[in-house]
Structure 1
Amino acid sequence: MTMMKTSKTADRRSFILSSIFFICCLCTLASITEVRFDTLLRLGRCAVVENDSTSLSFNTNDTNTSLTQNSTSSEEDIRILIGILTLPDQYHKRHFLRLIYGTQSPAGAKVDVKFVFCNLTKEDQKVLVALEIMRYDDIMILNCKENMNKGKTYTYFSSLPEILNDTNSPNPPYHYVVKADDDTYFRLDNLVQSLRPLPREDLYYGYVIPCPSMDPFVRYMSGMGYMVSWDLVQWIRDSEIPRNNQEGPEDKIFGDWLRDGHKAKNRFNAKWSMYNFPEPKTGCTHELWPDTIAVHLLKNQEKWIRTLKFFNVTENLKPSKLYHIP
């Protein structure tokens, strides 16, 4: 009898111990499963966040460099800076030009378009322009007082070497620098193609003044948009000639600098691929044509629309169920 009780007690203890062991195993397994699930959940969340972050970063990069064409360019590509001299209050014009240049992607080139003006003077400018910079990162504010013929062009060119002095950037940062008006439409593909056979040093490029002239060595290039190579930008910064001669019609003064400094031995007249809008008809213009590099004097929206329609700039619009444009 005593032996049977002892056996039952042992069996009960064994059952209890087995049950406890089984429960512990279940708890351990549940714990491990929970850890794995949480880990997988966290990894999944990380993957989602990383994917979202990558997408956001990509979109933000597109936004911040909306006027930087072919940002993945190689060292062999032509690098061009187009500085559009404008005024701080020209918000709508800047937004319009972002559309114009942001939809062009010239092959084999890195083209940066920046809006250039002098110091801000009003409280609304300080807020609205700052927002533009945060959104688009395509504005240069020079240390000068806004002017037309008292040195703004000099300040633009002479400031660039220091502004663009970045040891992580290519040297030179740009092969060519353009000074352009905000009523000029550059067709970037044609501009880039016209530059391929040209020198990258001591170069002066544009539309020769006066209208009948085809000789780029006689006077100077029109303010609609002219270009110099980077070595001339550095010379403008360093030389006493432009520093001591800043006031007057700025495009003419610019030509005087190069003449007095015996610079720009490589000159290229882009006439008649650069010209004024056909109306009103003058000796400085002709009809729109396919080989155009730049059209000037687009003073109102009607002229812009006629020009953009002629060049069929919306031909690459992707079909979508989201819109219908006949």
Structure 2
Amino acid sequence: MEKQWEWNTPLKFSLMFISSFLVAMTIVLMSMDQVELHSLIDAGRSAFFTFANPNPSSISPNSNSTSSSCPCDPPKKFTEKTNFPAPKFRMLMGILTRPGSYNGRNLLRLAYSTQTTNVAEIDVKFVICNVTDGNDRVIVALEIMKFNDIIILQCSENMDKGKTYTYFSSLPAMLSQPYDYVMKTDDDMYFRLDVLARSLDPLPRTDFYYGRVIPCKSTDPFFGYMGGMGYILSWDLVEWIGISNITRNHAEGFEDKLVSEWFNEGNRAKNRFTATPRMYDVPGLTTCSHEYMPDTIGVHRLKNKRTWAQVLRYFNVTDGVKPSKMYHLL
């Protein structure tokens, strides 16, 4: 009978040793071929940044995606230029409010943080005077730490005793770089930022005064003044307010009307524009009220949850809520 082949222990260990040696030598030989190895690494790195680079313009203009070492080219959507054009102007939106109005500020943060526009860079800030209450100081400090969106002026809290003058006149020394436009608005006003930005885009950037003219029946921006619901000045007018004796000596009075008087006396703001009727009070309240309209720029006198909900519902602000197992909204 033919004897069957049997594995003995020495032979097993010999074959295992030889196999391990060959594997080790293969690894060593691969590591010695540095040129090929570096080429492979560079190819892999290039392929990764073609997909991951958030700024396609930073990719070398000499690169050719069709000659990639990858056997399959990246999807077209990753190689197309997707960066947005630079904003056409910058605007500071200053919302005048009081230190204790925490809930109102938080609602406005929600209303503005969910909006976007490619036309302008709009910085939303809350403007208050000196915080004298100890409890308010703690909460306001917490807001600054979290949001960094509060400007505290050197003044006592007021409406018509110089706060608006202090706001405008303080900005040139306070800011590291100027804006194209500066807005003053109230904390009961809601703006649709993209619509507002597009309305400003074709207009002048200097000697500029824009808002909802008062009296409300007027459409002549040179007759009357821009209502306190929200008006916008070009930066050169903000600088002028800070150095003019006209404004310094006449800082108190009905703030919105006062601004117009400054410009009339100083022969300023030759470029005046009214957003009538696209800025208005909530329906059925004042002579500046009318029904909501699709091309609205801003709505004023949002004094409670009901009016806020009406406005946000009309403009379908919350339609973008995504479905989830974590919540349900009937």
Shorter chain as denominator, the TM-score bin is 0.7 to 0.9
Aligned residue in 2 for 1:301? 305
Q: How far apart, in 2, do the equivalents of 1:240 and 1:73 lie?
A: 43
Q: Deviations over 1:152-175 (max 9, x none)?
A: 0000000001110x2xx4xxx311
Aligned residue in 1 for 2:15? none
Q: How far apart, in 2, do the equivalents of 1:146 and 1:214 lie?
A: 33
Aligned residue in 1 for 2:141? 130
Q: Is 1:83–2:86 an aligned residue pair? A: no
Q: Are 2:183 and 2:232, in contact at CA under 8 Å, matched by a contact in 1?
A: yes
Q: What are the residue-to-residue correspondences of 1:162-177 with 2, within 5 Å? A: 162-164=173-175, 166=176, 169=177, 173-177=178-182
- Residues 124 and 228 from structure 1, CA distance in 2 versus in 1: closer, same or farther, beyond 3 angstroms? same
Aligned residue in 2 for 1:275? 280
Q: Is 1:144–2:155 an aligned residue pair? A: yes
Q: Is 1:183–2:188 an aligned residue pair? A: yes
- Residues 184 and 101 from structure 1, CA distance in 2 versus in 1: closer, same or farther, beyond 3 angstroms? same
Q: 1:233 pairs with 226, 238, 244, which one?
A: 238
Q: Deviations over 1:3-48 (max 9, x none)?
A: xxxxxxxxxxxxxxxxxxxxxxxxxxxxxxxxxxxxxxxxxxxxxx
Aligned residue in 1 for 2:290? 286
Question: TM-score by structure 1 length?
Answer: 0.74
Q: How far apart, in 1, do the equivalents of 2:169 and 2:86 lie?
A: 25
**Structure 2 SS opposite 1:214:** coil
- Quote how far apart the aligned CAs of 1:319 are: 2.9
Aligned residue in 2 for 1:312? 316
Q: Deviations over 1:123-147 (max 9, x none)?
A: 1111111011000100000000111
The amino acid of 1:285's aligned partner reads S
Bigger mean CA offset, 83-92 vs 73-82? 73-82
Unaligned runs of at least 5 residues, structure 2:
1-82
Corresponding residue pairs, total: 248
Aligned residue in 2 for 1:67? none
Q: Deviations over 1:234-270 (max 9, x none)?
A: 0100111101101111111111001001000000110
- Quote how far apart the aligned CAs of 1:76 are: 4.6
- Residues 137 and 73 from structure 1, CA distance in 2 versus in 1: closer, same or farther, beyond 3 angstroms? farther
- Quote how far apart the aligned CAs of 1:307 are: 0.6
Q: Are 1:73 and 1:109, in contact at CA under 8 Å, matched by a contact in 2?
A: no
Aligned residue in 2 for 1:260? 265
Aligned residue in 2 for 1:118? 129
Q: Is 1:155–2:166 an aligned residue pair? A: yes
- Quote how far apart the aligned CAs of 1:212 are: 1.3
Q: 1:243 pairs with 248, 258, 265, which one?
A: 248
The amino acid of 1:200's aligned partner reads R
The amino acid of 2:106's aligned partner reads H
Q: Deviations over 1:73-92 (max 9, x none)?
A: 87652211110000000011
The amino acid of 2:111's aligned partner reads I
Q: How far apart, in 2, do the equivalents of 1:80 and 1:261 lie?
A: 24
Q: Are 2:119 and 2:198, in contact at CA under 8 Å, matched by a contact in 1?
A: no
Question: TM-score by structure 2 length?
Answer: 0.73
Q: How far apart, in 1, do the equivalents of 2:148 and 2:182 lie?
A: 18
Q: Are 1:79 and 1:110, in contact at CA under 8 Å, matched by a contact in 2?
A: yes
Q: Which runs of 4+ in 1 moved over 4 A?
A: 72-76
Q: What is the identity percentage for the equivalent residue pairs of Structure 1 and Structure 2?
A: 57
- Residues 73 and 125 from structure 1, CA distance in 2 versus in 1: closer, same or farther, beyond 3 angstroms? farther
Q: Deviations over 1:219-240 (max 9, x none)?
A: 2100000000011000100111
The amino acid of 2:225's aligned partner reads Y
The amino acid of 1:255's aligned partner reads S
The amino acid of 2:224's aligned partner reads R
The amino acid of 1:93's aligned partner reads G
**Structure 2 SS opposite 1:98:** helix
Q: Is 1:213–2:224 an aligned residue pair? A: no
Q: Deviations over 1:192-236 (max 9, x none)?
A: 010111000010000001111111112210000000001100010
**Structure 1 SS opposite 2:268:** coil
Aligned residue in 2 for 1:105? 116
The amino acid of 1:112's aligned partner reads D
Q: How far apart, in 2, do the equivalents of 1:108 and 1:260 lie?
A: 33
Q: How far apart, in 2, do the equivalents of 1:272 and 1:193 lie?
A: 16
Alignment root-mean-square deviation, CA: 1.4
Unaligned runs of at least 5 residues, structure 1:
1-71
